[in-house]
Every structure is written in C-alpha cells, then in structure tokens.
A and B are shown apart, each in its own frame.
Chain A
Amino acid sequence: MNVSGAAVRACGLVKTHGQGQSRVRAVDEVDLEVPQGQMLAVMGPSGCGKSTLLHLLGGLERPTGGEVWVAGRRIDTMSERALARLRRRSVGFIFQAFHLVEELSAAENVELPALLAGRSRRQARRRASLLLERVGLAERARHLPSQLSGGQRQRVAVARALVNDPLMVLADEPTGNLDTAATLDVLRIFEELRSAGQTFVIVTHDERVAATADRLVSMRDGMFVDDTWLAGSHARGLGGLIGLEG
C-alpha cells in the first residue's frame, strides 16, 4: 500500500463491540486518507462510531479488521510498546472531558508528554512555557485544572497535545464541554495551527466546528455516508463561520 504523503490512512477498517446477537459494528469497512496539513472533521450522531474511529487512528484501540497506517507505518499490528512510542512522537490527543491530571498544574500537565518522551526537565519546561504562551495561558501556568475555566482547561489540553510536535492531532469533541466564547478561543488556536500545517482529525457534532475544517466526513452506523471538501472555508473570518459575528 502506498501511503506517501498521508499523515494517517485507514483501509477497510472494522471495529466490532460485543458478541453474538449484541455484536455491534462500531466502525464498518471505513477507508480514509488524511494528507499532512489537512484538517478533517468527522461528524455524525451520537453512537455512530466517530470516537471509536479516532481511537483506532490513534492506536488507543485495535481494529477488528482492516489496516491503519500512520506516517507510513502500519500501526494495527504494532505491539503496545511500539504504539506508545508512536503516540509519543506522532499523535496528540484532545478530549471533550479534557483529561488533565488534576493534581498537576497547567505547566506540569503540558510537560508530561515531553518527559515521557525522554526530554530533560528543562527542555520540557521551556517547551511547555512556549506552548502555554501560544494558547494564551502563560499567566495561568501554575494553576491547577480545578482553578481554570473549561475553555482554559481545553487550551491546556491543546498545549499538551502539541508539546512533542506531533504529526497529527486527534480531537474528540474538543468543544463539547465549552461555552461559545471558549469554543471560539479553541477554534482560533486550531485555525492558527492548521495554517502552520498541523494535521487535524476532529470528531464533532457541532456544525460550527466542522465548518472550520478543510474536509468534512459524515458518519452513520459506523460507515462514511458523505465526504465533502470545504476548500477555502477557513479563508473566511472564523467568527462569521461559527455564527459569532453579526
């Protein structure tokens, strides 16, 4: 399989849950290729398999069938250790529930993947400071997650996802727990990152978020039912796109 130029590629991807009559095909024969630098939005109703797809692309779950390739390497046959190394270097995750370590400060949360990747504490600290500044939270670096708003927590999660310069960022409902203003903040950051060539796969059921993507895939019952290119959409003002400007 030729995978050159693709950040991530899936072929005939299947994921089933349960057994016997309760067996459910969460992802059903999905083919997907996301070129580097592309922002892909995956939309669909709850339970359609969006999050499962994201987990499969990031190696958090193993497919029942099919193949997943990340940066030219097939990952569905990799050992857990190799998958962990791949996530360290090539994948950044952002979750709806933020999933920050509650007893660590914002800076310490952002440093964590860098330390896991073997960087020195000083390097990790410097990189974390840079990224927190980039997401507008330099002043809150020492705050615990419980002392931050939802939007601020998600911005910390974004900084954490970027700390090891990943090949792609996988975001699962990144604005699902945010109010409109916080959503706008996060999307502004995504827009900046996309402009800088960061590959994104964003699972969402918020059309305003999807509208910021280069490409929109719709899912239903584990299958892709639509694949639309939204070329030029991000050229418009972000606020206008998401209905926040008059």
Chain B
Amino acid sequence: MGSIVLVARLVLADLRRHKAQAAMLLLAVTVATATMALGLSVRDVSEALYEQTRAATAGPDVVALSGDTGPAVASALASLADAPEVVAHHGPYRVVYADLTARGLSSNVVVHGFADKPGAVNRPLVTSGRWVRSGGTVLERGFATALGVGAGDRVTIAGRSYPVVGIAVTAATSVYPGAAQIGPGGGPTDYSGLAWMTRSDARKLASSRDLPVTMALDLKLRDPAATETFSDAHRDSAVRINFRSWQFTAQQDMGILKHSQPILVVGSYLISFLAITGVAALAAGRAAEQTRRAGLLKAVGAAPGLIATVLLTEYLALALAGDALGLVVARLTAPVIAGPTASRIGDVAGPTAATVATATVLAVAVAVLSTLRPTLRALRTATVTALTATAHQPRHRPWITALSALLPTPLLLGLRLTARRPGRAVLQACSTATTVIAIVALLTIHAQTERGYGLDGSAALPNLRGEHDRHLMLAVAILLVALAVVNTITFTWTTAMEARANMAIARTLGATPGQITAGLSTAQLLPSLPGAIVGVPLGTGLLSLFAARNAVDAPSSWLLGAALATLLATAAFTALPARLAARRPVAQALSAEG
C-alpha cells in the first residue's frame, strides 16, 4: 500500500512539473486511439445500423428480382412465394426506372409500387410525413437528404410533378445511391435513389412514359441465415431471377466505406508513429533528469521494480487515459463516420472488446516505446553516477565538422547541431516524411474524378463515397500535420535547450542571434529535406496499395509543391522556438553551465 501511495505521489508531482508534456502525450494517444478505434469499428457500426434498420422495417431475407415482367416471370415469382422455406412475402411489385428532379437537381430513381398499407415483409419505416397515398410519393431518407428535400416539397418524376408525402427508410435495398438492385431488363445498374408510390401510380407512371420496369418480390425465410441455400435451390433456367440476400445488402452498405477503413487504420498507425517520435524526443530531453531521479530513489532504498514502476507509470497512466478518451471520441463519432448517408437508423453500441484491446495495445505501445530507453538507462546507471547524471555528451564527428567549416554560419551551426543528435535528426526526417505522406494522400484523393450521383453522372449530386473519403482523409491529414507541427516545435526547442551552452559560447564568439536562430532552424530543416523527398514516393506507394485500378496519380507539380510547402512550413514553425531560444541572455546561459 505504501509503495502505491509513493508511486502515485511521485507520478502526480512529476505530472504537475511537466504539464505541457503530459498534455501532449494525452492528446497524441487520444487522437491515435480514436482514429484506430474508428477504423476498426466502421464495419461493425455499418452492420449494426443495417441490422437495426432491418429489424425496424421487417427487412426481407431475400429479394427476388427479374428484369422481365411477363406471365412467366409472374408465375416464377408466385412459385417462389409459395416455396416451403418461405414464411412470408411481399409483392411481386413493380420497380420503375425514371429520372427525378427536385430543387434543380436531377437523378436516376427507382420507384417501387407499394400498397397503401405495407405488408408483413419490407415495411419501410416512415421517419417524417406519412406513407404513400394516391398522387403522392415517399422518398428514401438518404436520397431525400442528398436532394435536400423534405415532406411537403414537390419532386418531378419522369416529367410529372408529385408531392413528397413522406420520408422513409428500408433495409430491402442498400444505402443511397444503391437503390437499383438490377438495371432495366436485368442489365447494369446506375447510381439511383429510391421512391415509393402506390401500385396504381407506379403502373401509370411506367405506362404513361413507357418507362423500363422490372419485378421484385420480398421474401421472409424460415431460416434467415439460409439465404444462399434458398437461392441455389430456386434458380430457374427458364426465367432469369436474381436473388439479393440481406447479407449481400449489408455487404453493399460497406461499399460507400470501402476506403474509410484503410484511411483510418493506416492514419492511426501514422498518428501513433508521430506520437511516439514526439514523446520520445521529450523523454530523451528529460533523460538526465530521469536518471538523477532514479539515482535518488536508489539511494533511499527503492528496488529496481519500484523505480521502473515510478518512471513508466506516468506515461502508462497518461496513455491509458488517452486511450479511454479516444474510445469515447470514437464511440461518439462512429455513426457519422460509418453512416455517411441517412439511409440507416439506429444507435451504435460501444466499440467491441477486440477494438478496445487493440486500441489499448496501441496506447501502451506509444507509452512504452517512447520511454523504455530512458527508463532502462536510468535503471542500469549506478547510483552515484546517476546522482550526477548530465545530458548525453555528443560524439566528435570530424568529417561533419570539417565539412561544415566550408559553409556559411547558419549552415555551419545547423549541420553541427544536427550531428549532435543523429537519432533526433532521424525522428525529424521520419516526422516530415509522415507529414508528406499524409499530404500526398490528401492530394491524390482530391485528384480523383468520380461519377457524380446526378443524372448521367452529373456532379450536381456529389459522389458521397468520394466526399466521405476526402473528408476523412482531410481530418486524418489535419491531425497528422498538427502532430508534426508539435513535433517540429518540440524538436527545435529540445535541440535549443540541449545546445544552449554551445549556442551561448557561439554568441560570445560573435554569432548573431539571427545566425543562431537560422542555425537552429537549419538543424531541423536538414533532416526534413530527405524526409520530404522520401515522403512523396512513400505516400504514392502507400496509396497504391489501396487505390482502385482506375485511380489517377496527383500531378507531379502538386506533389513537388507539397514537399516544398512542408519544408517552408517546417522553417516557419522552427523559427519561433529558435528565435526565443536565441534571445536567451548569454551571460545567464553561461552562468548556468559554469
């Protein structure tokens, strides 16, 4: 008990002394775990939303679809409805292929002809307004949201004006714009919204404009899981019937999220990497202090286990707090991320145990990887040595010193500062490469041209999947860039603090504050340069793993611009801490070192 109190007291005292560092670790882990939890949850959340919509709308287990409408089709569908595996059915009903215009936006639409009173299977849930009545239409909620149409508005379907009497959701089709399960005549489908009309209105609509019509039948099976067996058993060689199982529809819902998972999961790895580099740099900057602290604890009789606990507990506690926060953030944002259309209803349960475990492993890994080295060093250092520990002495690098002597003063100082801490230079390079990877990904996603959801692929109704990918990538890129900025400022400040004696000496020897500032900035820019150069092909390569076959690369000028902009931003973000460090009084710095 006494040990726990001691550990808690020491950890709290240290947290109070290093609030900024604690906040940085907490924030970085929160962002990383939230992103990872979201990435791992999108499939579960999408499935959960489908399941709940299916339950609320008596969703069919199988939808049988035929591209034809003749008596043979009617007979085939009727025999399906009478099949022994079927416990209930709805239909057959007409599916009319038309175009719809509302608020100046035009789209393909499939109109389902339904009864005034929905049956036992496929009962769309009206979320606003009322169910279909003669002369009126009900729009599927995802479609209505994309159009910006609500109950009471008017829409034009195949040239005829209809009042929108209600908005509803269904689990019989996949989310907007996947309402057309087969195309006219059983051919290929196009992006389409869904509308319902009464059976007679649908028939009139089809006949008045000679519109393509297909037939559909919703089936409820005795064993909802046995959809594949049912489909295989009822394939008719005479009449072509397509079967759409509820599992298939649920899977189709994920189509809109095809890129979301890799964006979030890979993004979370990159965010975690940046978190580790930033926290490792801070921890390395405190290594001497940690070693002295360990020496003090050893001197008063603490066992190595207790010392390791004290040193690691702070980071682990912060990482676990960040993990918990990240999971909460993921839970709150999951419905928006996993349901970019309004086609599904329901609440989202918390992350699964596997997701929680994975996010927690990530958080612990960030804490341990960033602090293990200084902790081990502190444990291994002899007590007396630890009590007088000073910052790690840089190595003599004659060839870098000789090379830098040929350069102007800022480069001379910058190169020598970079050489003092090659490990940190590598971290800075990696941090820059990660930033460039994120920007390359963002630019490449923006360079893609996709068919809009409007009529004939018009972008007046934007491609929701593309928009969703861009929004997610933008969010991930912003998080990555923000962490990289924090890292750059941290690296610059830590470099400046460790080299303050040398910089003060340089000042006494005639270096101007401007030269010191430029030197400190150069020390970050030198490793950033290869990082930015490597980041471009790395980003392109990483994207190619997930890109569609017809994906286009971002223009080279964009990528070059991204690398240059990253370097310029690095220069700008290093300037402030470098300038602050360079303006510290020389005499004070020398007295502190003397």
Using a CB–CB distance below 8 Å, which chain A residues touch chain B?
51-52, 55, 58, 60-61, 80-81, 84-85, 87-89, 93, 95-97, 99-105, 108, 111-113, 115-117, 121, 124, 144, 146, 160, 164
Contact = CB atoms under 8 A, between A and B. Distances in A.
Interface string B512-524: 1111000000000
B594 A97 contact: yes
Interface in B394-440: 394-398, 401-402, 405-406, 409, 412, 420
Given A60-B508, A61-B585, A85-B512, A95 B594 contact: yes
Contacts of A115: 405, 409, 412
A160 B507 CA distance: 13
A112 B512 CA distance: 14
A82 B517 CA distance: 16
Interface in B372-411: 393-398, 401-402, 405-406, 409
The 5 closest A-B pairs by CB, nearest first: A88-B510, A97-B594, A84-B512, A113-B509, A121-B405
Contacts of A84: 507, 510-513, 515
A102 B507 contact: no
A160 B509 CA distance: 9
A81 B511 CA distance: 8
Given A103-B393, A103-B395, A60 B586 contact: yes
Contacts of B506: 112, 116
The A interface, classified by DSSP as helix, strand, loop or mixed, is helix
A121 B402 contact: yes
A87 B509 contact: yes
A78 B506 CA distance: 19
Nearest to B502: A101
A179 B588 CA distance: 26
Contacts of B510: 84-85, 87-89, 113, 116-117, 164
A95 B406 CA distance: 28
Nearest to A161: B509
Contacts of B405: 108, 111, 115, 121, 124
Contacts of B409: 115-116
Contacts of A103: 393-397, 420
Contacts of A124: 405
Contacts of B586: 55, 60-61
Contacts of B401: 104-105, 108
Contacts of A52: 587
A61 B393 contact: no
Most buried by A among B412, B506, B512, B585: B512
B361 interface: no
Contact of B513 (A81, A100, A104, A116): A81
A146 B594 CA distance: 15
A155 B405 CA distance: 22
A99 B587 contact: no
Given A108-B401, A112-B506, A99 B501 contact: yes
A160 B398 CA distance: 18
Contact of A102 (B393, B508, B515): B393
A115 B415 CA distance: 14
Given A103-B393, A121-B406, A60 B587 contact: yes
Contacts of A55: 586-587
Given A104-B401, A108-B401, A115-B405, A93 B396 contact: no
B306 interface: no
B593 A99 contact: yes
A99 B590 contact: yes
Contacts of A89: 510
Nearest to B588: A61
B505 interface: yes
Contacts of A97: 590, 593-594
Nearest to B397: A103
Contact of A99 (B412, B420, B508, B513): B508
Given A51-B587, A146-B393, 7 more contacts: A52-B587, A80-B513, A101-B502, A104-B401, A105-B401, A108-B401, A121-B405
A103 B505 CA distance: 13
B396 A105 contact: yes
A96 B593 CA distance: 11
Contacts of A61: 585-587
